[in-house]
Structure formats: C-alpha cells, structure tokens
Amino acid sequence: MSILAHSEHTSGTGEEPPDTGAARTAAEDRYRLTATQGLAALSLDAMASVAYGPEAIVLVLAAAGAHGLGFTLPVTLAIAALLAVLVASYRQVIAAFPDGGGSYAVAKRHLGRRTSLFTAASLVLDYVLNVAVSVTAGVAALTSAFPSLYGDRLGICLGVLALVTGVNLRGIVDSARAFIVPTAVFVGSILVLIVVGLFRDAPVSTEAAAGHASALAGDATTVGALLLLKAFAAGCSALTGVEAVANAVPSFRAPATRRAQRTEVALGALLGVMLIGLSVLIGRFHLQPVEGVTVLAQLADASLGHNGAFYVVQFATVVLLALAANTSFGGLPVLMGLLARDNYLPHVFGLKADRQVHRHGVLALAAVSALLLVFSGGDVNTLVPLFAIGVFVGFTLCQVGMVRHWRQERSAGWRGKALVNGFGAVLTGVSAVVVTATKFAEGAWLIVVALPVLVLAFEAVHRAYARIGERLELGRVPEAPRRCHSVVVVPVSSLSRLTSKALTAAVSLGDEVVAVTVTQPDAEGRRAAESLRRDWELWSPGVDLVELPAPGRALGRPIVAYVHELAGRHPDNRVTVLIPEVEPAHLWQRLLQNQRGAVVAHAVRRDTDAVICRLRFRIDTRRIDTRQPGPGRAAPGKAGTRR
C-alpha cells in the first residue's frame, strides 16, 4: 500500500515524484541520456575494472609459477563467456523491466519480497563500496606516480568524491558530458595498446618493471581446479558495473529501452575486447607480476615503450579509476527511488529535482562513501576485501529470477534462454561462494553481517509506512467531509504590524479568533501584561485577548492547556494555533530571533492535536517603512502556512 502521495508535499521544493512511465516531454528528455552518454555515465566502473581484473587473475595464478600464468587466457575467456551471458541476461532484463531496478525488479517479481530485499541490499552495499574503492584506487595510482602526495591521500579522496558528487547534483547528463572525454581517452589508449602490442614479437621496453621484485612463485607441475576457480572468482571483479545500465533505464531518453539495450551491448563488447586483448598480450610478452608495478603499466611499457604514450595510459587509468564512482551515482539513486516507491526506504529518496536528479539519493551515497573513506584512511587495501561480493549475489539472484521468468512466459526459444541464465546463475553463484570464503577473514564477514542488517532496516521502514497507511485508512473510502466549528488561537506578546497581519489571517481562517498572551509571574511580567492590555483596548481589533498565567517561566505549557480547554468545550471544535513569526532577509539574521514561535510550535505539536500554522512575515532590512498599511497599499509581507 503506497502512501507516497500522502507523505510528502513538494510544493515550492522544485522536486517531483518519480517518473511512472508517462509520456516524456522534450524538456524532460534534455536531462536524460543518449546511448553514448549512458556509456560514459554508467560504464566507468566496468571500464576501469580492466586496470585490476587481469592483474587479479595473474596474482592468483602466480602461485603456480610460470606454468600457472599460462592459464591466464583460458580463465579470461571463461570470464568473457560469463560476461556475454550477463550482457544477454541484462539486455532481457531491460526489456522486461523498463522502469529500472535490474536485479531488484527481477527478484521482486519472480523470487518473492524477502529475496528481492536481499538483492537490493547487495546492490546498495556494492554501489557504496564501488564509490570508496574507485576513489581510493584512483588516488593510490596518483600517489604511486607522485609519492609526495601519499600523506594527503585521504584529503584527495574526499576532494575527488566532492567533485563527482557536485557534477551528479547537476544531473546525470551533465556527468556524462563531463566524463565522456576521460572515458574515450582511456578506452582509446587501451585499444591502441592492444593493437600495437599484437604486432610486436617482443617487449619494446621493460623499464617499468626493472628493479622490482617478482611476485612469481616456483613452477608447479600441475594447476589444480581450486586455483583456477580462485583465479576465475578474482578476475570476475572486472564484471562489477555490468548491471548498472539495467538499474538506470529511466535515465535514458525515449525510446529508453532500446537505448539502454544498445548501451549494455556496447559496454559488454568493449569490456570483453579489452579483457581478452590484455590477456593475450600478457601471454605474448610473458609478463610476470612484480611488486609496486601494475600489470597494465607493464603492458603499456612493453607495447608502447617508456615514453609519452606510456604516461598517457597511466594518467588515463588514474582519472578513470577515480571517476568510476560515477557508475554508482547513476545507478544507486534510481534503485533507492524504487525502494522508496515500494515503502522500503524513506519517500524522500523517491523525489526528483528539476534536472531529473534523485538529489537525496546522491547526497546519501556521498555521505556514506565519505564515512567509508575516513574509516579506511584512504587505503584501498582496507576496502578491496569487501568489494564485489554484493554484486555476485545480485548477479546470481537475477539469473535465477530470469530462469523463472522464461518458464512462466514460455515464449519462442525460452528453453535456450533459460538454460543460458541457469548456467550463468551457477557460475556467479560459485563465484560468490568462492570470493566470500577466500576473503572472509580479510573483512568479507562485514558484508555477510551487513546484508541481513540492511534487509531488517528495509523491513522496519516498510512496517512503519504500513502503520501510517493503516491510520490514514489508505485504500478505503473515507467519510464525507463535514464542517466543524473552527477556533484560531493567535499567541501575541506585543502590538506590531506582525500582530495585525496575524489577526487578519486568523479571521480569514476561523469562525472564532482568540488572541492569547502568556503572563510571567514576576513584577516585570505583570507590567508587560498591563501595558499590552491597555494598548489592546485602545487598538480595539475586535478580537478578545486572553491572558494565560505561566507556572514558573514556561511559555508552551499555558498555551497547550488553553488548547485542551478549547477542544474540550465541544467535540466539534477544530483548534488551529497560528504562530506569527518574522522571516529575516538574510540567513545570519536568524541568530537575532528569540525562537518563541519554535518553542510554542514544538509544545503544541507534541501535546495536542491542534493544527499548527506558522505565518511568516518577511522583512527587508535595507528599507524601513514606518507607515501603517492602509487601503490601496500592500504590506510588504509574505504569509505561508505549514502544518
């Protein structure tokens, strides 16, 4: 039971509820993605993974020596095959679930509510960790080139995060435009590296690895299945980000489904070509992992030489790793919007700003990521063991859900499609188990604990909304509206233009208006009350002034007691407390206010069922007009009500 429409008022906020699939205007499409822009905005995570995916494979196989490194290409081909399965699957997910959500949407429809929440939790964790890992990895590459910056890596990480967040607050299209050049430079440099390397029989240079200790172990006579499985699971870190396009389908221009599918295929093709090409070069140049130098740096050195082209590849890698966090900013806010629509997250995450930005989702992601960066001290090795587990859980559940989808739909060729998805589910499921088991002691246990905790949090939010919906009787025909006797209470402390504006608004709102003033028990309070009473009688506004004695110096309690008295006089009395307040022209001037209105509002809201109306009177301190408003003159005030 959705209570989104009843729980948020977006008037004056520049925000609107999430798109429901209605026809989009040309103005709205300006803030949505083309296929090319989608590739830049949503594929940075996957593209950047070529910088550490092949290296992860090599580092595992190095335990078996040079003989083990000979299996780099077969393992990469297996990962590429899984990539093809995932791309085909998510292409179907995009068509079947055009409102976005990816794995969460699939699991929700075909695997049940609880399973869908585990899927959503895994994606949320993966997206948050992706931001932290991407930023720290990019900064780590930068500090490797400039060691003097190592001590400032946390500050640099937070600066990069602030940059990416700021760009995404301007809209996903602006982020795509900002990052399309770095993406193109990185992809182009990697493809050039591969093509040039394929025409070389021997490395041009080995300067990058010179003087560094080899990480290669002694040769093994055989390579066991467990080692190959660990290498496969480690290399699957290159597949993170493949699901981002399916999660963010509503961010594309119409026809959104077709554009998103083209983006998914292009992402899979580019990623597959780069992974396989780099693995071929690793075997062609007989590269070995060395301490302190990445495999990608060795490949650039061997293929292009230790020259300007080498540094272009390194710099492009640094930039793209740092900006790979943008994938999360494109996918997670949309997913959070869907969870908010289903009452599993606060509805504020479902609101969109003017540029189709899920502003609150972007800010929440940035805040949690900043905490992770501070917790890790900007050290990538602290975060990497936590990474990629969540995405494998999401992959597996999505594949299983698509198998059930094909079995229920039974369209042409459904058996073949279900077989592909089932095979993919087995592979990703095994990878999830292997990655979790091998990294459990390194920190992966935190993810194992965090997943059910996050699901319980979703459930708690859903129960809270269910209780609110029950109290509001949503989904039922309400009783007919009826007129009640309306009493408006206006707290006053002195006579001013603000008092006049407040009483004018009050007599327009209610059948009966009462002005009340709280009198303090000391001599000063009695003198102030006598002065106000005398001025009130001279002014004679046609509204009674009631003096409420205060026990001690309490301000809210006397008004609360009087509201209870009014409500008890007749069961049909509807009491409204109208609180006049000055709204300063400048933010700093709020420090000059006495906050009496806030104190009264808090007491009345906490202890009564009265309606609270805060009347704001804006003043302009640049020009003081002491004349009283009269006929034909508009008072320079601004009234607004808020319940």
- Classified as helix, coil or strand, 126 is helix
In a domain, 640, yes or no: no
Sign of the C-alpha dihedral, residues 392, 394, 396, 402? negative
In a domain, 190, yes or no: yes
Integer CA distances (angstroms), 269 to 77, 276, 380, in order: 13, 11, 28
Residue 626 is predicted with a pLDDT of 46
Integer CA distances (angstroms), 165 to 347, 351, 391, in order: 21, 17, 22
Q: What is the mean pLDDT of residues 499-521?
A: 88
Counting Cα atoms < 13 Å in the Cβ hemisphere of 80 gives 20
89 contact partners, CB below 8 Å, separation of at least 6: 398, 399, 402, 420, 421, 424
Residue 54 is predicted with a pLDDT of 84
Residue 314 is predicted with a pLDDT of 80
When comparing pLDDT for 257 and 101, which is higher?
A: 257
Residues of the chain with pLDDT > 90, as a percent, come to: 3
* Residue 424 CB burial class (10 angstroms; 0-12, 13-18, ≥19): buried
When comparing pLDDT for 169 and 174, which is higher?
A: 169
In a domain, 627, yes or no: no
Banded model confidence at residue 485, pLDDT cuts 50, 70, 90: confident
In a domain, 477, yes or no: no
Integer CA distances (angstroms), 295 to 57, 509, 635, 640, in order: 10, 74, 72, 63
pLDDT for residue 193 is more than 80: yes
Banded model confidence at residue 643, pLDDT cuts 50, 70, 90: very low
Q: What is the mean pLDDT of residues 331-351?
A: 84
My answer on whether 372 and 521 are in the same domain is no
My answer on whether 493 and 460 are in the same domain is no
Which two tokens mark 158?
């937070």
- Classified as helix, coil or strand, 432 is helix
In a domain, 628, yes or no: no
pLDDT for residue 456 is more than 90: yes
Banded model confidence at residue 629, pLDDT cuts 50, 70, 90: very low
My answer on whether 456 and 598 are in the same domain is no
Banded model confidence at residue 637, pLDDT cuts 50, 70, 90: very low
Residue 118 is predicted with a pLDDT of 87
Q: What is the mean pLDDT of residues 267-272?
A: 90
Integer CA distances (angstroms), 54 to 80, 222, 278, 536, in order: 12, 21, 7, 83
In a domain, 637, yes or no: no
Residue 453 is predicted with a pLDDT of 92
Distance in angstroms (rounded) separating the CA atoms of residues 452 and 438: 20
Average pLDDT along the chain? 78
pLDDT for residue 385 is more than 80: no
Q: Write down how long the chain is.
A: 643
My answer on whether 134 and 92 are in the same domain is yes
Residue 494 is predicted with a pLDDT of 85
My answer on whether 529 and 456 are in the same domain is no
Residue 154 is predicted with a pLDDT of 84
- Classified as helix, coil or strand, 10 is coil
Q: What is the mean pLDDT of residues 302-314?
A: 83
Q: What is the mean pLDDT of residues 68-83?
A: 85
C-alpha of 79 from chain center:
29
Greatest mean pLDDT among 1-5, 206-210, 597-601: 597-601
My answer on whether 97 and 171 are in the same domain is yes
My answer on whether 460 and 490 are in the same domain is no
Output phi, psi for 581, to 5 deg. Answer: -140, 150
In a domain, 635, yes or no: no
CA dihedral 39, 44, 48, 49 (to 10 degrees): -90
- Classified as helix, coil or strand, 595 is coil
Residue 640 is predicted with a pLDDT of 38
* Residue 296 CB burial class (10 angstroms; 0-12, 13-18, ≥19): buried
Task: Look at residues 75, 88, 104 and name the one whose alpha carbon lies nearest to residue 416.
Answer: 88
Strand partners, 513: 488
Residue 480 is predicted with a pLDDT of 81
Residue 137 is predicted with a pLDDT of 75
One-letter identity of residue 441: A
My answer on whether 421 and 563 are in the same domain is no
Residue 443: give the domain boundaries. Answer: 4-468
Residue 15 is predicted with a pLDDT of 44
pLDDT for residue 467 is more than 60: yes
Residue 25 is predicted with a pLDDT of 52
33 contact partners, CB below 8 Å, separation of at least 6: 41, 42, 172, 173, 176, 251, 252, 253, 259, 263
Report the CATH number at residue 24: 1.20.1740.10
One-letter identity of residue 317: T
DSSP string, 513-575: EEEEEEEPSSHHHHHHHHHHHHHHHHH--SSEEEEEEPSTT-SHHHHHHHHHHHHHH-TTEEE
Q: What is the mean pLDDT of residues 180-184?
A: 83
- Span of 174-188, 306-320, 620-634 with lowest mean pLDDT: 620-634
My answer on whether 336 and 446 are in the same domain is yes
Greatest mean pLDDT among 39-48, 280-289, 370-379, 548-557: 280-289
Whether 270 contacts 47, CB under 8 Å: yes
Q: What digits encode the pLDDT tens for the residues 393-419?
A: 888 888 888 888 888 888 777 888 888
Domains in the chain, number? 2
Report the CATH number at residue 539: 3.40.50.620
Counting Cα atoms < 13 Å in the Cβ hemisphere of 208 gives 28
In a domain, 639, yes or no: no
Residue 457 is predicted with a pLDDT of 92
Q: What is the mean pLDDT of residues 424-428?
A: 82
My answer on whether 405 and 372 are in the same domain is yes
Q: What is the mean pLDDT of residues 498-511?
A: 88
My answer on whether 404 and 295 are in the same domain is yes
Residue 1 is predicted with a pLDDT of 39
Q: What digits encode the pLDDT tens for the residues 555-589?
A: 788 888 888 888 877 777 788 899 888 877 666 66
My answer on whether 417 and 496 are in the same domain is no
pLDDT for residue 222 is more than 70: no
